[in-house]
Amino acid sequence: MNTSIQFDATGKLRHFLTIDGLSRELLVRIMDVAESFSSVTEQQVKKVPLLRGKTIVNLFFENSTRTRNTFELAAKRLSADVLNVNIATSATSKGESLLDTIRNIEAMSVDMFVVRHEASGAAHFIARHVAPHISVVNAGDGSHSHPTQAMLDMFTIRQYKGDFSKLKVAIVGDILHSRVARSEILALNALGTEEVRVVAPKTLLPIHAESLGVKVFHDLDQGLEGVDVVVMLRLQKERMSGAFLPSEHEYFSYFGLTQERLAKAKPDAIVMHPGPINRGVEIDSRVADGPQSVILRQVSNGIAVRMAVMSMVLGGYGETHSGGAV
C-alpha cells in the first residue's frame, strides 16, 4: 500500500492513514503537540482557535463510541465545525457508491474526512480520490490500521514510562484481526522500543509474525515476564470467519489477564486496552479497574492526540514534514 500518499508535494503531512513509513521524529512531534493540548481540557473554556472556519466530517461506516466521540470533541476543541454523517440513514445505505457519497459531501465545502470503515484500505482509497484541498484521517480500516489509536497509546506509554529504548512491551490477544496491534507494532519499533512481544494462540497470530519485528510467545506467563507495558486486545469476533477458539471461557483460562498473571510483569508495569473491554474474556475486572490500569487515561489522551493530528494535517501546526519536524 502506497504510504507516500500521506505527504503533499512539499513533504508536509496531508493525510494521516497509517504509521507505516512515518519517521521517529514525526511520531515524537505528534506526541509533543498532543502534550501542548493536554492542558486545554483543564481550562474553563476548552477551545483553541487553530481550526476555526474549517469543516470536519466524521464518516463512520463501522460502529464506534470512543473513537467517534473523541474525534468530535477534538475537532470542536480546535474550533472546527463538525458534521457527523449517519451512514445507516445516508444514501450509501440506499445503494449510492462510496465515491458518490464522498463527492456529494465534498460539494459542501468541507476540509477533512475522518473515516472508519470495515474494509482494509478504505481510507487510502478515499485519500486517492478526494479533492486536492481535502485531508483524510484514518479512524480504523478493517484489520489493517488504526494510526491515531496507536499514537494515543504511544503518548500514554511516554507519559508513564519515558524512554522507549528501555522498555519491553507485550501485546496480548487477537493479533491476527487487530488493526491496533499492527499500528502499535509499527509505532513501537519506529520509536526504538527495546523489545516488542506478541502473546497469542497460534490461531490468532498472522503467518510469519516474527517478520513484523516482534518476539512471539504462546504462553502468557512467559510473555509477561519482566515487561513494562501490557496491551490487552479484545477478540475481534466480527472479523472472524470460522472457529479460531474452542470457547471464550477456555480463552480466558489461558490468555486472560488476572492479578496473578500480571505479577509476572514488572511491579510498576502499566496495563492498557484500546477498548471496548470484554471483562472475563481477555481481562479480569480487578485488573481493568486496578491501580496499574491506565485504560481511562488512554481515552482522555485520545482527545489530545487527535487534536494534534488534525491540527498538524489541516493547520500545518508545527510545520511537520516527512523527514520530521522543522
With beta carbons less than 8 A apart as the criterion, state whether 101 and 44 touch.
no
pLDDT over 80 (residue 88): no
What residue spans define the domains of the chain? 4-145+300-319, 147-295
pLDDT over 80 (residue 89): no
Question: 3-state DSSP: the chain helix, strand, coil percent, rounded to 5?
Answer: 45, 20, 40
pLDDT over 90 (residue 127): yes
pLDDT over 90 (residue 325): no
Query: How much is the mean pLDDT over the chain?
Result: 91
Residue 148: the pLDDT is 98
The mean pLDDT of 161-173, rounded to a whole number, is 97
pLDDT over 50 (residue 243): no
pLDDT over 70 (residue 91): no
CA distance 183 to 233: 13
Q: What is the pLDDT of residues 210-235, one digit of tens each?
A: 999 999 999 999 999 999 999 999 98
Long-range contacts of 186-189 (CB under 8 A, 24+ apart): 186/18, 186/19, 186/20, 186/150, 187/19, 187/27, 187/150, 187/151, 187/153, 187/154, 188/154, 188/164, 189/213
What DSSP line would sit under 250-279, residue for residue?
Answer: HHHHHH-B-HHHHTTS-TT-EEE--S---B
- Which of 149, 211, 135 lies closest to 180, judged by CA? 149
The position carrying cell 498538524 is: 312
4-145+300-319 and 147-295 share one fold: yes
Which CATH class, in words, describes the domain spanning 4-145+300-319?
alpha beta
The radius of gyration of the chain from alpha carbons, rounded to an integer in Å, stands at: 19
One-letter amino acid identity for 29?
R
- Helix or strand or coil: residue 84? strand
Q: What is the CATH number of domain 147-295?
A: 3.40.50.1370
Q: Containing H/E element for 237? A: none
Considering only residues 89 and 85, tell me which one the structure prediction assigns the higher pLDDT: 85
With beta carbons less than 8 A apart as the criterion, state whether 167 and 229 touch.
yes
Q: What is the pLDDT of residues 191-208, one digit of tens each?
A: 999 999 999 999 999 999
The mean pLDDT of 134-163, rounded to a whole number, is 97
Surface-to-core class of residue 109, CB atoms within 10 Å of its CB (0-12 exposed, 13-18 middle, 19+ buried): exposed
Distances in Å between the Cα of 14 and the Cα atoms of 28, 37, 58, 103, 213 are 17, 20, 17, 19, 28
Q: What is the band of 319 on the pLDDT scale with cuts at 50, 70, 90?
A: low
Count, residues in the chain: 326
Least confident of 104-113, 296-305, 312-321: 312-321
- Which of 254, 268, 73 lies closest to 173, judged by CA? 254
Q: What is the pLDDT of residues 44-58, one digit of tens each?
A: 888 999 999 999 999
Least confident of 6-15, 60-69, 159-168, 240-249: 240-249
CA distance 18 to 5: 10
